[in-house]
A and B are shown apart, each in its own frame.
Chain A
Amino acid sequence: MSFLQLQGVEKRFGALRAIQGIDLAIEKGEFVVFVGPSGCGKSTLLRMIAGLTEIDGGSLQLDGRDITRLPSSKRDLAMVFQSYALYPHMSVFDNMSFALRLASVDKAIIREKVQRAAEILNLVPYLQRTPKELSGGQRQRVAIGRAIVRAPKVFLFDEPLSNLDAALRGQTRVEIAKLHRELGATTIYVTHDQVEAMTLADRVVVLRDGAIEQVGSPLELYDRPANQFVAQFIGTPQMNVVDTVDLPALRGMAGGAAAGDGFIGVRPEHVLVRPAGSGRMDGQVELIESLGADTLVHARVTQGARSVQLVARQNARTLLQPGDPVGLDVVPGAFHLFNREGRAVASASAR
């Protein structure tokens, strides 16, 4: 029995099965990220674990205890909300000590724990301020501090970085990663941002329409996606996925494994840009995106009546312009093969 176990967990809204029989085992100390498109049920699932939304079917066990029907206040979990949900009428110190005060913990111990958490999060100078006197990033840290002080069994994060600007988001992401290394606490983190998923997670759970598409470490999901949805969800820019019918040349390159009907996927970094005429495919440049460290080449490959757009990524700058002819090639073996239903049949990764 692992630390946090979900078995057949379900949520129904009338006739709609929003969450469909989820089975998941989370080990102690793991950082698990729930990721997926809007409406996939990741926040609902988190709230069901937290006890804020009722579980309609299945069971939830924490550290050997069945907590399926327990109210949130008794589950020994702490949540960091997307909107921070700080108590506006209390100071930072009171916000962070609220749970301990409710549990009638000794005042001296409360002061010590809050002080420690405030030091870790650089909040010591703000302890007497109220939330409206703090910036977004500071409020975010108070919300995290409020959770840390309780030393709960599991930390739950509900898209905590969505309300921050890009620079602060990157910074805070690093802080959260460091925090997890320091505290080693079991964490469930919900986000729609796959960069956060890739960088923070020990394991990623990809959700779609209330069901798990794949669970694995970030690189496992990247190198060996179980289906087309995961393949195209993880990785920026998106994996190039081509119907085998549309580009026979690609099928030829993929070799015997791709003989069947279905789709072939190639990651942009495995698409090689060559001078015109010297690649196994010929194409025309449609767009160049220069990101500084990377350059993205969008090219259109036409074979007969069909044409397909491929994106190539390289870290060298390019002199190509839209309209230029270009040759394209693929790193040997870097193909992901999917059947007509989207399931991976075989994927040969270059690594």
Chain B
Amino acid sequence: MKQLALLLRTVSAWVITLLVVFPLIWLVLTAFKTELQAIRVPPELFFTPTLESFREVNTRSDYLLHAKNSVLTSVLSTLVGLAIAAPAAYSMAFFRTRRTRDILMWMLSTKMMPAVGALVPVYVMAQTAGLLDSLTALTVVFTLSNLPIMVWMLYSGFKDIPPDILEAARMDGAGVWGEFVHVIRPLATGTLASTALLCLVLSWNEAFWSLNLSSAKAGTLATLIASYSSPEGLFWAKLSAASLLAIAPIVVVGWFSQKQLVQGLTFGAVK
């Protein structure tokens, strides 16, 4: 009986996994087809792969520029976000007041509003500041939209550090920076890493603001993909190739850091 249950569980796990991964597999397959092969019904599973779509994507639009923009905005927004979120989380974790929980809830609540609600004011502000289609605007917006999550994650991680240890560090002569470098960073490495990774991933995949605030110069890879759904119709093969090129870097990063990502996302729920 147990064998049957185990078998059922294994089979359903595989089925669910395949369902989830299927779009990605299809994407990879389509990227290596020609346009004609891509739109064929019934779809071809066996074909000779070609790099034709990739070549066209690269000549038609500047992949490297968009990639560079994605990398810059993601990395910068992560770094700036950490620089702001870490002290905030420190203060909330170790100098708690009656209002701390309320502030955290409020921060999180800002994520519950659809981004489109803030579109007009943000657009107008970017335009007034002359920052439309600039990396600055994108970085600022990415940082701000990821801050609530970063503060929350870091707060949860810092909370687990016994305050006694920080007091001991203080008695031993450490200033606030010393506390951070010698005690908090080593003890909260997992949380810091997973927070940074999450912010990286979220910024990389951020499409809404990228599309609305940038066009030619500051376009990220998200913009690149979107540019392939044109009024002429959908060029499946090129779209797939562009998408694959866009997600490849972040999938690789995520693959190598899955342990930290999972750890951070479960908020250290199991000690």
Chain A residues engaging chain B, CB cutoff 8 angstroms: 50-52, 71-74, 77-79, 81, 83, 85-89, 98-99, 102-103, 146, 150
User: Do residues B171 and A78 form an inter-chain contact, with CB atoms below 8 A?
Assistant: yes
User: Do residues A83 and B173 form an inter-chain contact, with CB atoms below 8 A?
Assistant: no
User: Do residues A85 and B172 form an inter-chain contact, with CB atoms below 8 A?
Assistant: no
In addition to A71-B175, A78-B171, A89-B186, 12 A-B residue pairs with Cβ atoms within 8 Å of each other are: A71-B170, A73-B170, A73-B171, A77-B171, A79-B168, A85-B165, A85-B168, A86-B165, A87-B169, A87-B183, A98-B169, A102-B173
| Of listed A50, A74, A88, residue having the most chain B CB within 10 A | A88
User: Do residues A102 and B174 form an inter-chain contact, with CB atoms below 8 A?
Assistant: yes
Report 13 cross-chain contacts, Cβ distance below 8 Å, ordered by A residue: A72-B167, A73-B171, A73-B178, A79-B171, A81-B167, A81-B168, A85-B168, A87-B168, A88-B187, A89-B187, A98-B172, A146-B172, A150-B172
Chain B's nearest CB lies how many Å from the CB of A91?
Answer: 13
Q: What's the Cα separation between A112 and B44 when bound, in Å?
A: 75
A103 and chain B: residue at smallest CB distance? B173
B165 and chain A: residue at smallest CB distance? A85
B166 and chain A: residue at smallest CB distance? A85
In the assembled complex, which residues on chain B have CB atoms less than 8 Å from the CB atom of A77?
A: 171
User: Do residues B164 and A85 form an inter-chain contact, with CB atoms below 8 A?
Assistant: yes
User: Do residues A73 and B167 form an inter-chain contact, with CB atoms below 8 A?
Assistant: no
Q: What's the Cα separation between A103 and B175 when bound, in Å?
A: 12
B162 CB-CB contact with A under 8 Å: yes
Q: What's the Cα separation between A146 and B165 when bound, in Å?
A: 13
Chain A's nearest CB lies how many Å from the CB of B162?
Answer: 7
User: Do residues B170 and A72 form an inter-chain contact, with CB atoms below 8 A?
Assistant: yes
In the assembled complex, which residues on chain A have CB atoms less than 8 Å from the CB atom of B187?
A: 88-89
Chain A's nearest CB lies how many Å from the CB of B259?
Answer: 19
In the assembled complex, which residues on chain B have CB atoms less than 8 Å from the CB atom of A51?
A: 170-171
A89 and chain B: residue at smallest CB distance? B186
In the assembled complex, which residues on chain B have CB atoms less than 8 Å from the CB atom of A83?
A: 162, 164
In the assembled complex, which residues on chain B have CB atoms less than 8 Å from the CB atom of A103?
A: 173
| Of listed A74, A79, A98, residue having the most chain B CB within 10 A | A98
User: Do residues B171 and A50 form an inter-chain contact, with CB atoms below 8 A?
Assistant: yes
In the assembled complex, which residues on chain B have CB atoms less than 8 Å from the CB atom of A78?
A: 171-172
A94 and chain B: residue at smallest CB distance? B182
Q: What's the Cα separation between A87 and B182 when bound, in Å?
A: 9
| Of listed B167, B169, B171, residue having the most chain A CB within 10 A | B171
In the assembled complex, which residues on chain B have CB atoms less than 8 Å from the CB atom of A89?
A: 186-187
Q: What's the Cα separation between A150 and B164 when bound, in Å?
A: 19
In the assembled complex, which residues on chain A have CB atoms less than 8 Å from the CB atom of B175?
A: 71, 73
Q: What's the Cα separation between A102 and B182 when bound, in Å?
A: 10
Interface hits, B175-195 → A, CB 8 Å: 175, 178, 182-183, 186-187
Q: What's the Cα separation between A244 and B172 when bound, in Å?
A: 54
In the assembled complex, which residues on chain B have CB atoms less than 8 Å from the CB atom of A85?
A: 162, 164-165, 167-168
In the assembled complex, which residues on chain B have CB atoms less than 8 Å from the CB atom of A81?
A: 164, 167-168
User: Do residues A73 and B162 form an inter-chain contact, with CB atoms below 8 A?
Assistant: no
In the assembled complex, which residues on chain B have CB atoms less than 8 Å from the CB atom of A150?
A: 172
Q: What's the Cα separation between A78 and B172 when bound, in Å?
A: 7
Q: What's the Cα separation between A86 and B164 when bound, in Å?
A: 9
Interface hits, B153-170 → A, CB 8 Å: 162, 164-165, 167-170
Chain A's nearest CB lies how many Å from the CB of B4?
Answer: 43
Q: What's the Cα separation between A83 and B168 when bound, in Å?
A: 11
A52 and chain B: residue at smallest CB distance? B167
In the assembled complex, which residues on chain A have CB atoms less than 8 Å from the CB atom of B186?
A: 89
B168 and chain A: residue at smallest CB distance? A85
In the assembled complex, which residues on chain A have CB atoms less than 8 Å from the CB atom of B183?
A: 87
Chain A's nearest CB lies how many Å from the CB of B21?
Answer: 38
Q: What's the Cα separation between A71 and B167 when bound, in Å?
A: 11
In the assembled complex, which residues on chain B have CB atoms less than 8 Å from the CB atom of A72?
A: 167, 170-171
Chain A's nearest CB lies how many Å from the CB of B97?
Answer: 13
Q: What's the Cα separation between A47 and B22 when bound, in Å?
A: 61
User: Do residues B165 and A73 form an inter-chain contact, with CB atoms below 8 A?
Assistant: no
Q: What's the Cα separation between A87 and B164 when bound, in Å?
A: 10
User: Do residues A88 and B165 form an inter-chain contact, with CB atoms below 8 A?
Assistant: yes
Q: Closest 9 CB pairs between A and B?
A: A99-B172, A85-B164, A85-B168, A73-B173, A72-B170, A89-B186, A102-B173, A79-B171, A83-B164
User: Do residues A98 and B164 form an inter-chain contact, with CB atoms below 8 A?
Assistant: no
In the assembled complex, which residues on chain B have CB atoms less than 8 Å from the CB atom of A99?
A: 172-173
Q: What's the Cα separation between A73 and B175 when bound, in Å?
A: 7
In the assembled complex, which residues on chain B have CB atoms less than 8 Å from the CB atom of A86?
A: 165, 168
Chain B's nearest CB lies how many Å from the CB of A113?
Answer: 14
In the assembled complex, which residues on chain B have CB atoms less than 8 Å from the CB atom of A87?
A: 165, 168-169, 182-183
Given A73-B174, A89-B187, also A98-B182 (CB < 8 A): yes
| Of listed B167, B175, B178, residue having the most chain A CB within 10 A | B167
Q: What's the Cα separation between A98 and B165 when bound, in Å?
A: 12
Chain B's nearest CB lies how many Å from the CB of A149?
Answer: 10
| Of listed A73, A77, A86, A150, residue having the most chain B CB within 10 A | A73
B161 and chain A: residue at smallest CB distance? A88
In the assembled complex, which residues on chain A have CB atoms less than 8 Å from the CB atom of B167?
A: 52, 72, 79, 81, 85
In the assembled complex, which residues on chain A have CB atoms less than 8 Å from the CB atom of B178?
A: 73, 102
- Over the window 175-217 of chain B, the binary record of Cβ atoms lying under 8 Å from chain A Cβ atoms (1 yes, 0 no) is 1001000110011000000000000000000000000000000
Q: What's the Cα separation between A74 and B178 when bound, in Å?
A: 13
In the assembled complex, which residues on chain A have CB atoms less than 8 Å from the CB atom of B173?
A: 73-74, 99, 102-103
